[in-house]
Amino acid sequence: MLTYTKLKRNRRKCLALTGLTPKEFSALLPAFARAYEERYPADKTMTGKPRRRKVGGGRKGVLGDPEQQLLFILVHQKTYPLQALLGEVFELSQPRVNEWVHRLLPILKGALDELGLLPERDPQRFAHREQGHGEVPDLSIDGTERRRQRPKNPAQQAAHYSGKKKTHCDKNVVIVQAQTKRVGFLSQTYAGKTHDKKIVDTEPIVYPPGTTLHQDTGFQGYTPGVQQTCQPKKSLARESSRRPRSA
């Protein structure tokens, strides 16, 4: 079974499976444990009824410790495996995996919110939320894609098929603080075929004053009200290699 006791010894593997380094995991753990205790007090059952026996009685669960609970939900979020596979990794049945996922997702969200790490979803409130962090508004914007099951409907298949990734996926636009790598904004979810610029045109993001915004060519023509926009130019050598040679 995958345990955090073993995983934290390997920084590279911990980062690959959870998206966090052992140091970042340790920083998140106390807030996660507090959020879990607040939602599920130790003196009550999962249904909210008073316990009839002392805390700790009965069979020990494989996700009984906050460390294992946080590890479980982070692995789910980072790798997004089938529930049957996640069950094999943590020695749980598929129904139990489903139950734990629905139980722990709100806990993780509450912990991130407490630490001020939960990204803003409202584009109109982004500037106000970002100013509260007191950081230099040096931001990077990019589109992210995550794989999904292929829809059965042909029209939905076409909408979710990404020519860039050659797979069916969902897409979001994220804005990251360039220095701390903190995700400050997460757009709503769109079909994988949706262009990055179309998303930001649909969601009019309000930026903090004095923002320097780094963006790639996927946002060509996007000119928000910021102090400076930095966008790399296409390499002439790369462009010439793509052009068909004349006979």
Question: 114, 134, 155 — which closes off a domain?
Answer: 114
Last residue of a domain, one of 114, 144, 163: 114
Q: Are residues 86 and 157 in the same domain?
A: no
> Is 64 within the bounds of a domain?
yes
Residue for token pair 């979710």: 160
Phi, psi angles (nearest 5°) of residue 72: -60, -50
Model confidence at 247: pLDDT above 50: no
User: Where in the sequence is the domain holding 32, given as residue range(s)?
Assistant: 4-114
Residue 244 domain flag: no
Exposure on the CB side of residue 182, measured as CA atoms within 13 A: 19
- Confidence check: pLDDT of 83 > 90: yes
92 and 136 within one domain: no
| 175-220: pLDDT as tens digits | 999 998 899 999 999 999 999 999 999 999 999 999 999 999 889 8
Output the average pLDDT for the chain: 88
pLDDT in tens, 16-65: 999 999 999 999 999 999 999 999 887 777 677 777 766 666 567 789 89
Verify that 168 and 98 share a domain, yes or no: no
| pTM of the complete model | 0.76
Q: Which two tokens stand for residue 242?
A: 């793509």
Shared domain check, 57 and 157: no
Contacts for 152 with CB less than 8 Å, ≥ 6 apart? none
